[in-house]
Amino acid sequence: MEQTWQTLGAVAPEQLVDARLQLHHAAQIVAAVGTSLATPVPDYSHTSLEWLVGPAALAGGLVAGTPSFRAALRPADLMLLLLDEDGRILADDMLNGKTLASGLDWMRRQVSAFGADGLKVALPSYQPGEFPTHAVGEGRAFELDPASSAEIAHYYADADLLLRDLAAHEPRASSVRVWPHHFDIATLIKLDEAADEEARSIGVGLSPGDGGYAEPYFYITPWPYPEISKLPPLPIGAWHTEGWVGAVLTASALLVGDSAGQEQRAAGFISAAVAACESLMGETQHG
């Protein structure tokens, strides 16, 4: 299915916090399947998710079964899914109005029904303070505003569109993944072959919001961090320099201007910020 830009702005960016937190917790059910049952790989991508255009869902890795399947979450209506290898729906269940525990139990039953060991499916664990809190994580039923959840789905779809285009033209870029810990969707451009901590890289992604920004934002993060005094001006977006260094385009800034120009502004930010980071680290600018 062809990807097209989804117009943003139906819900103000600062009003998406509660929906984002609920979706972040719901996505752990999907991450639980891949983390527990998918074949482990060194970069831990078996624990990650990806955006699937057809079902408009965040899906985990493929798990051997009869047939093989992948767990998924459709953010727009908070629907848990089990998909076959081609993305067709094998089973679904509405999570809205239910608890995290009941959603996990449903997923375990479906996993078992399709030939895998559902008893092994366990939610990912994080260190205290490393995962955002919300009442749904303490047993409250999900109660998601449809407009807000649909808006967040559009942010993921649009980010996936731009990041896949970047990865298709940049041979050093990794596949586009959604990481359940921070809930960002991103690709990593490796500038060096070495795997040590000083290996240069550029992270390109979108966060739906976090403790630093209470709204979605695109980010470009160079590593190692360059000197702040050397950061060049950007034609759109701004440099973040507190705690980490990177270029940021917040949803609020992206939405300034006509809606028809959203894709162009976001793509222009990514291109300019990646080029700036490559230049800072002595690379040929990205075209």
What is the secondary structure of 14-61 as a DSSP string? GG-HHHHHHHHHHHHHHHHHHHHHSPP-TT-GGG-BEEETTTTEEE--
pLDDT of 283 reads 56
Nearest Cα to Cα of residue 238 among 217, 210, 214, 208: 217
Under a CB-based contact definition with an 8 Å cutoff, are residues 237 and 249 in contact? yes
In a domain, 2, yes or no: no
Residue 116 maps to a domain: yes
Tell me which DSSP letter residue 63 carries.
B
Residue 17 domain-assigned (yes or no): yes
**What is the value of pTM for the model shown?**
0.95
Instruction: Report strand pairing: 57-59 vs 69-74.
Output: antiparallel
pLDDT at 284 over 70: no
* 180 located within any domain: yes
Per the domain annotation, does 126 fall within a domain? yes
Q: Which of the listed residues 117, 138, 159 is the one where a domain comes to its end?
A: 138
* Same-domain status, 191 and 223: yes
How many contiguous H segments (helices) and E segments (strands) does the chain have? Answer: 5, 11
Q: 159 and 85 share a domain? A: no
Q: Are residues 17 and 83 in the same domain?
A: yes
Of the three residues 88, 104, 138, the one that is the final residue of a domain is: 138
12-29: average pLDDT: 98
Residue pLDDT, tens place only, 184-197: 999 999 999 876 77
170 and 129 share one domain: no
Average pLDDT, the chain: 95
Of 61, 37, 144, 149, nearest to 100 (Cα)?
Answer: 144
Does 61 fall in a domain? yes
Give 187's strand partners: 204
- What percent of the chain has pLDDT above 90? 89
| Same-domain check for residues 132 and 173 | no
> In the predicted model, is pLDDT for residue 34 greater than 80?
yes
- Are both 24 and 128 inside the same structural domain? yes
Is the pLDDT at 1 greater than 90? The verdict is no
Number of domains in the chain: 2
Q: Residue 198's pLDDT is what?
A: 76
Poorest-pLDDT segment among 14-28, 55-69, 101-115, 270-284: 270-284
* pLDDT above 50 (res 35): yes
Q: Tell me whether residue 286 is in a domain.
A: no
Confidence of residue 43 (pLDDT cuts 50, 70, 90): confident
Q: Are residues 51 and 105 in the same domain?
A: yes
Residue 286: predicted pLDDT: 42
**pLDDT tens figures, 233-256:** 999 999 999 999 999 999 999 999
Residue 86 has pLDDT above 70, yes or no: yes
Is 50 exceeded by the pLDDT of residue 287? no
Which one of 89, 122, 138 terminates a domain? 138
Q: Are residues 188 and 83 in the same domain?
A: no
Contact 235, 241 (CB under 8 A): no
Q: How open is the CA angle 166-167-168, to the nearest 5 degrees?
A: 90
**Average pLDDT score over residue span 73-91:** 97
Q: Do the beta carbons of residue 142 and residue 22 sit within 8 Å?
A: yes
Domain that holds residue 22: 13-138
In a domain, 3, yes or no: no
